[in-house]
A and B are shown apart, each in its own frame.
Chain A
Amino acid sequence: MMKANSLDPRTKIFIVAIISTLGILYRDIKILSLIFVITLVLAFILNHDLLYVIKRLKRLLIVVFFIAFVQSVLTNQGEVLIQFYGVNILTDYGLLKAAEFILRIGIIILASVIITTSSRREILQGLVQLKIPYEIVFMVTTAIKFLPMLRDEAINMFTAIQLRGLDFKKIGFGKKLKVYKYLLLPIIISSILKAKELSIVMEMRGLRAYPTRTSYRQLSFSLKDYATMGISVIITIMFVVLN
């Protein structure tokens, strides 16, 4: 199995850009299935802990399947499979659209798993060497770092409020909404305070003190990177030509 960090993050960004573009461009279910399988294999090769990642995305997958279900129910075209009092509940076309949606989202999620095999610092350096302004790259990577912090913050507060004797499963919907509303403000305030502290720390460390930045670590492409990008381009051309 290829070690995830043996590839340059720019190569991974390149692969992800190609896979996501193909996933969005094609509508044919057979092609989408093929792209999905290729992405799955690639993600498995690069990420030895793919099952753990999928487990962590369990809730997101439930939402994806729910949206796919709603989409299939709301599509009226095609041969009717289930009908209820004259109303078309499920058609073969609706099912096809739902499957396309699941495959497309699956491709994008698996492609993003490939990126996450590089550290935040490596991705930042890769984007800088791709000539993207440092300030923008820093903001994006910091925002990515903040998302799990925001989630942890919300989980902590939700746990703490239940520990005050609030049995969330047993209270009514209106009270649940009140709790969510109650928790929203502290989560936002806490995130803003953390962002403010971070910005002060960065200023103190000399961020933007000089007009240009140098970096101790420089990424360089290896033969493996060139080969991976070459194979990706060939596969992409094959897709475009054959379809």
Chain B
Amino acid sequence: MKDNIEIKNINFKYPKSDLLFNAFSLDLNMGETTFLIGDNGSGKTTLSKLIMGILKISSGSISIDNKGIDQCTLGEIGKSIGYVFQNPDHQIFGQSVIEEMSFVPILLGNDSIETIDKADKLLDNFGLLHKRESLPFKLSFGEKRRLAIASTLMREPRYIILDEPLVSLDMNNMDIIKITINELRRTGKGLLVISHNEDFANEYADRVIKIQDGRIAYDESK
């Protein structure tokens, strides 16, 4: 099956703890917006990290477009799937906001003028253009979250995983993120949004999957 993330019979446990996923299987369509909901500790973030290859499964298989992720490097997975961590501090490195946006594309050989131009447009969309020379560590939490999403969009991934994008945000920042999600959906980008907010899921999702103790409690298409 094409454009799919296929999770087949995976087992996973953290060291010195019980099995979190036991023979867990799930298919994700990379063209739709899927919400993964569930309580804290139910395994949502762990599942997303397994898909990205950040954590390794102990058995079973995960494949993206029929290619097993065990055969891919993090860089290769990152080229097709963008990942926005729950804590933006985990993915912000730059010494300025513009460097944060452009460092990796320029390092990978992209034209620097075009890259900077693209970065400025994205910063403008996310209301961060006036902060382009600021130190990213000094931004507010909401600004950091927006910057993390904007820098993920720089390389235009086919699919984006957003881990709890609304957590710890004020109404204004929430609105910007919601507008972004709508815009991404409108342009045909597939999304996997991890959230424990069911109202948010019902508003934007094509499909809602509830995870409970490492199992699928329900799986509904809208």
Q: B85, A167: Cβ atoms under 8 Å? A: no
Is A182 at the interface (CB under 8 A from chain B)? Answer: yes
Q: Which residues of B contact A183 (CB under 8 A)?
A: 93
Q: B75, A165: Cβ atoms under 8 Å? A: yes
Q: Which residues of B contact A169 (CB under 8 A)?
A: 73, 75
Q: Which residues of B contact A189 (CB under 8 A)?
A: 137
B77-114 vs A, CB cutoff 8 Å, 1 = contact: the mask equals 11100110100011111110000000110011000000
A155-181 vs B, CB cutoff 8 Å, 1 = contact: the mask equals 011011111111111110001001100
Is A185 at the interface (CB under 8 A from chain B)? Answer: yes
Is A193 at the interface (CB under 8 A from chain B)? Answer: yes
Alpha-carbon distance between A160 and B76 when the two chains are bound, in angstroms: 13
Q: Which residues of B contact A160 (CB under 8 A)?
A: 83, 85, 90-91, 93
Is A119 at the interface (CB under 8 A from chain B)? Answer: no
Q: B92, A186: Cβ atoms under 8 Å? A: yes
Contacts A186-B93, A190-B89; A166 near B78 (Cβ below 8 A): yes
> What is the distance, in angstroms, from B220's C-beta to the closest C-beta of chain A?
29
Alpha-carbon distance between A159 and B108 when the two chains are bound, in angstroms: 17
Q: Which residues of B contact A164 (CB under 8 A)?
A: 78, 104, 151-152, 154-155
Q: Which residues of A contact B73 (CB under 8 A)?
A: 162, 167-170
Alpha-carbon distance between A77 and B193 when the two chains are bound, in angstroms: 65
Alpha-carbon distance between A165 and B78 when the two chains are bound, in angstroms: 4
Is B74 at the interface (CB under 8 A from chain A)? Answer: yes
Q: Which residues of A contact B151 (CB under 8 A)?
A: 164
Alpha-carbon distance between A186 and B137 when the two chains are bound, in angstroms: 8
> What is the distance, in angstroms, from A169's C-beta to the closest C-beta of chain B?
6
Q: A166, B108: Cβ atoms under 8 Å? A: yes
Q: Looking at chain A, what size class is its interface with the partner chain?
A: 20 to 34
Q: Which residues of A contact B90 (CB under 8 A)?
A: 156-157, 160
Q: B137, A170: Cβ atoms under 8 Å? A: no
> What is the distance, in angstroms, from B147's C-beta to the closest C-beta of chain A?
13
List the A residue with the shortest CB-CB distance to B83: A163
Q: A163, B107: Cβ atoms under 8 Å? A: no
> What is the distance, in angstroms, from B51's C-beta to the closest C-beta of chain A?
11
Q: Which residues of A contact B52 (CB under 8 A)?
A: 163
> What is the distance, in angstroms, from B16's C-beta to the closest C-beta of chain A?
9
Q: A162, B78: Cβ atoms under 8 Å? A: yes
Is B19 at the interface (CB under 8 A from chain A)? Answer: no
Q: A162, B107: Cβ atoms under 8 Å? A: no
Alpha-carbon distance between A159 and B104 when the two chains are bound, in angstroms: 13
Q: B78, A179: Cβ atoms under 8 Å? A: no
Interface positions, chain B 1-52, Cβ under 8 Å from A, are 52
Q: Which residues of B contact A182 (CB under 8 A)?
A: 93-94, 103
Alpha-carbon distance between A178 and B54 when the two chains are bound, in angstroms: 23
19 A-B contacts (beta carbon < 8 Å): A161-B91, A161-B93, A162-B78, A163-B54, A164-B152, A164-B154, A165-B78, A165-B104, A166-B78, A167-B76, A168-B75, A169-B75, A171-B107, A178-B107, A179-B107, A182-B93, A182-B94, A186-B93, A190-B89
Give residues in B with beta carbon < 8 Å to A.
52, 54, 73-79, 82-83, 85, 89-95, 103-104, 107-108, 137, 151-152, 154-155, 157
- The 10 A-B residue pairs whose C-beta atoms are closest, nearest first, are A167-B75, A162-B74, A160-B91, A163-B78, A165-B79, A164-B104, A165-B78, A186-B93, A156-B90, A162-B75
Known: A160-B93, A165-B155. 19 other contacts (CB 8 A): A157-B91, A159-B74, A161-B91, A162-B73, A162-B75, A163-B74, A163-B75, A163-B78, A163-B83, A163-B91, A164-B151, A164-B155, A166-B104, A178-B107, A182-B93, A182-B94, A182-B103, A190-B137, A193-B137
